[in-house]
Structures are given as structure tokens and as C-alpha cells.
A and B are shown apart, each in its own frame.
Chain A
Amino acid sequence: MSADLDVIERAIDIDASPETVFELLTDPAEYVKWKGRLADLDPRPGGRFHVTFKDSAVRGEYVEVVKNKRVVFTWGWEGPQAAIGPGGSTVEIDLEPRGTGTRLHLVHRGLPAAELASHTAGWDYFLPRLTDVAEGRTPPA
């Protein structure tokens, strides 16, 4: 059960085709239109997923790429002080056609907070709050 909780999940409806969204996630020239200064992307299993920002950089590798449907990559920040190191967590993005648009579903696994909590019996405390956040409510303090 805790495996299901070891994640952040997000979904968003985009008024653009899965093809357009897929390009923005896998084509370096397209990627920097929404994120980062420089993207070095090699969208195939084991290929680079490097995005450089003004003062930080994300480093990972593509794990799975299904054209216009699914992109999975490892994900972490560069640097000794990075909360999540390069390749330290995994992001799964699924694209599903919805009318003329796309439903994007994102799952981020292997987060440091989850790692901490999973080493404790803290889930009884954590679970209700996690559910609140996942469902978009403000959890109690």
C-alpha cells in the first residue's frame, strides 16, 4: 500500500493534441519553449534528459518513450545540495486524448519526503493529509 503513497500525482487538461504535448516533452527546441534555458534530450530508453536553468540543472535519463502516449524519465537536481540527486526519482507522464485536447497525468515517485516517511510508521499521520493534497484540499495544520 505504501508504494501507492510514495508519489505525487497530478492531472491537467490541455487544449492541444497529444502530438503537440509530446513534442514539448521530447524535442529539445520545443522543450525550452516552456522550461529551462537549454535542453539536451535524447528521447529513447537510456537517453539523456538534461535541462539547464539559470542557476540549477535537472539531470536524468529517459526510461520509456511511447510516441504521443507516454514518457518516463528519471529526475533529479545536479549539485551536492540537491534534495533529489540526478536520477534520484522517476517521473511518469501519460497523455490521453480527450476530445480535441489531452488529459496529462503525471506521477512523480521516489521523493525524499516519501523516503523519510516510509522508514517510519508515520503513514497513519501522513495518509489523510496526503489525500487532502492529492485531492486539492488544504489539509489541516
Chain B
Amino acid sequence: MDDALRAIAEPRRRDILRLVWHEERSVGDIASHFDVTRPAISQHLRVLEDAGLVTLRRDGRRSIYRARRTALHELRAYLAAFWDAELAGLKAAAERAEREKKGTYERRPRRH
């Protein structure tokens, strides 16, 4: 899933993903929407494919790509899990701190 996060960190790859969101497109078609070279677009497509964000289909000599939309859902689930882990850490630290405070507070009267 880190691969997917890295893949969509690049704005141009997000643009490519939008292009192939609803319909499959050939590399040439995708490249025609950008001011960069076709090899550069192919490179971006490879990164997206390796990250599982697009799928590739061959039609004769043409490479045709489309978005793997479930991957975005997985990405969201990943970020949600990230926060679950963060909050579990916060909860543990807060409850530890609270126990320490209470321990100090409760012991104090007995000393006097």
C-alpha cells in the first residue's frame, strides 16, 4: 500500500488515473493529454501498474490501461488503519498518564 501512496503522490499520475477512471485508454491517447514525452507517460503508467492502481490489457501492439478503482478503496482503508494505530497509541499514553496522576494524587493524603 506504500507503493500506492507513493504512486499518487505525483500530480501527473493522479491526472493519468482520472483519465482512465471511466474508460480504458491506449498509451498514445493518454500521452496526447500531456506535454511530456510518451516514454515519460509510459514510465508513470508502469508505476501506477506496479502499485496496483491501473490494469494493462494488450490489444495487438497497443497497450490499453484502465483504473483499478478498488485500489482507491484499499488506500482509504490503509489511511483509516493508520489513524486507528495512531489513536490506539494516544489512548495507551493517555491512560498511562492518567494512572500516574491518580497514583500521585491518591498517595498524597496518606503522607499527611
Chain A positions near chain B (C-beta within 8 angstroms): 8, 10, 12, 14-17, 20-21, 23-25, 30, 33-35, 80-83, 102, 104, 106, 108, 111-117, 119-122, 125-126, 129-130, 133, 139, 141
Contact = CB atoms under 8 A, between A and B. Distances in A.
A130 B87 contact: no
What bracket does the count of chain B residues touching chain A fall in? 35 or more
A58 B83 CA distance: 14
Nearest to A8: B80
Interface stretch (B4-12, B34-42, B57-65): B4-12
Interface of B: 5-6, 8-10, 14, 17-18, 21-22, 69-70, 72-73, 75-77, 79-80, 83-84, 86-98, 101
Contacts of B70: 141
Nearest to A32: B93
B18 A10 contact: no
B82 to A, nearest CB: 9
A12 B91 contact: yes
A35 B87 contact: no
A111 B76 contact: yes
A82 B94 CA distance: 29
B94 A8 contact: no
A35 B86 contact: yes
A83 B22 contact: no
Contacts of B87: 10, 12, 104, 106
A14 B97 contact: no
Given A33-B93, A34-B93, A133-B73, 12 more contacts: A14-B95, A24-B90, A30-B97, A83-B8, A108-B79, A113-B79, A114-B76, A116-B17, A116-B21, A116-B72, A119-B18, A139-B77
A25 B10 CA distance: 30
B5 A122 contact: no
A109 to B, nearest CB: 12
A83 B9 CA distance: 4
